[in-house]
Amino acid sequence: MAVLNILNYPDPRLHKVAAVVHVVSDKHKKLIRDMADTMYQAPGIGLAATQVDFHERIIVIDISEKKNNLHVLVNPEIIEMRGEQICEEGCLSVPGIYEKVKRSEWIKFRALDIEGNPYEMEAEGLLAVCVQHEMDHLLGKVFVEYLSPLKRNRIKSKLVKQKKQKLIL
C-alpha cells in the first residue's frame, strides 16, 4: 500500500492538462492501486491522477458505502449526457470547502479498465457528479472555478492562509 501526496488548491500543477494513456502499463497499474489507496485513506470518493501530480488521464472512483466497488477510468470520454442536477461538492484538493455546482444528471461514458479493456457505463446522481468532477481535474479544472471570482478568491486566500499556518507550526 502506498499513499500518495495530494496537491492542494491553488497549486499550479492542478491546472496541468493530462495526456492520453497509450498503453496501460505495469507502471500505470501500480499508480492506479496507489491512487485507490490514497482515495480510501483520505477518505474520498474520487481521485484524478492530476491531484497526485501524475498527468495522464486516469481516475479512480468508489461511491459505495463499504468501499468495495472501485471504478477505474482510463482515458474517460463522456458520449451522452442528459438533465441537470445541483450538488454540494467537496474536493480532496480543496479541503474544508463545499459549494454547489451544476452538472448533468445522467451521463454515458466510455473508458478503459485497469487491464486496458474498453467499457461503456451509464451513471446518474452522485456517480455522474463524481465522474464529471474528476474529468474536470484531468483538464486542469478545479470545481471552485465554477464559482464567482469573488468567492473563488476568498477560498484561495483562506487555503493559502491555512497552508502558511501549517508551515509555521
Q: Which residues bind Ni ion (CB under 5 A)?
A: 91
Name the residue with cell 472512483.
61
* 76 within 8 A of 131, measured Cβ to Cβ: yes
CB of 25 to Ni ion, least distance (A): 25
User: How many Å from the N-terminal Cα to the C-terminal Cα in the chain?
Assistant: 29
- Residue 48 CA to residue 69 CA, distance in Å, equals 17
CB of 73 to Ni ion, least distance (A): 14
Known catalytic residue at 134: yes
Q: What angle do CA 156, 162, 165 make, to 5 degrees?
A: 140
Distance, CA of 9 to CA of 146 (rounded, Å): 14
Q: What DSSP designation does 45 have?
A: S
Question: Smallest gap, in angstroms, from Cβ of residue 146 to Ni ion?
Answer: 12
Least gap, CB of 39 to Ni ion (angstroms): 10
Q: Which is nearer to Ni ion, 42 or 160 (CB)?
A: 42
In the complex with Ni ion, which residue's Cβ is closer, 60 or 111?
A: 60
Catalytic residue among 89, 99, 134, 145: 134
Cβ proximity to Ni ion: between 91 and 127 the closer is 91
- The counts of H helices and E strands in the chain are 3, 7
Q: Which residue is nearest to Ni ion (CB)?
A: 91
Peptide bond preceding 95: is omega within 30 degrees of 0, i.e. cis? Answer: no
Residue 11 vs 116, nearer CB to Ni ion: 11
Annotated catalytic residues are: 134
